[in-house]
Amino acid sequence: MAAMIKSDFSAELPSVTDERPADARAEAFQGVREARRNELAEDYVELIADLIHEHGEARPVDIAAQLGVRAPTVTKALARLAREGLITRAKYRSVFLTDEGRALAKECRNRHEIVLRFLIRLGLDAETAELDAEGIEHHVSERTLALFKSYADRP
């Protein structure tokens, strides 16, 4: 049946779907799924860096408030981040970034800031820009980020 579609059909009406082979599209989706897996970690690390910068420490209660989730969700997520080597912490104490975590935070902050400036430069209001940047920043390739930066920085 698949053979039928690939031969009989696409022979006479070359389609968008066939022009873009399944492999290529699958790769795109796999990339997106990969990005999705890292999004949460990036959100946490970025937020933790912010909180440390602002308040000298990152407490689970503040992380939970900023993310809009409950405390146990944060406890679990932090356990995962610790497992992944992005943070260190002791039970009942606040959270610190490892070198790796700090590097990731810096990268995230940079991306976030570029996307935000880009959207505002494009004419978006600051609030919507902030909302959209939060979602978009995880799905922007290096190349796109460079273009965003050029646009935002242009005279």
Residue numbers of the site for DNA (CB under 7 A)? Answer: 1-4, 33, 37, 40-41, 59-62, 64, 67-78, 80, 89, 91-92, 94
Contacts of 121 (CB under 8 A, 6+ apart): 151, 152
The answer to whether residue 110 forms part of the interface with a copy of itself (CB under 8 A) is: no
CB of 8 to DNA, least distance (A): 10
φ/ψ of residue 153, rounded to 5: -90, -10
Residue 121 in contact with residue 152, Cβ under 8 Å? yes
CB of 119 to a copy of itself, least distance (A): 7
Q: Could you tell me the two tokens for 120?
A: 């505002």
Based on CB atoms, which residue is closest to a copy of itself, 39 or 84?
A: 39
Pairing of strands 87-89, 95-97: antiparallel
| Residue from 82, 89, 144, 149 in contact with a copy of itself (CB under 8 A) | 144
CB of 114 to DNA, least distance (A): 24
The 8-class DSSP code of residue 91 comes to T
Based on CB atoms, which residue is closest to DNA, 83 or 154?
A: 83
Burial 69-98, CB ≥16 within 10 A → b, else e: eeeeebeebbeebeeeebbeeeeeebbebb
Residues that bind a copy of itself (CB under 8 A): 1-2, 5, 9, 13, 15-18, 20, 22, 25-32, 35-36, 39, 43, 50-51, 53-55, 59, 61-62, 65-69, 119, 122-125, 128, 130-132, 134-136, 138-141, 143-144, 147-148, 151
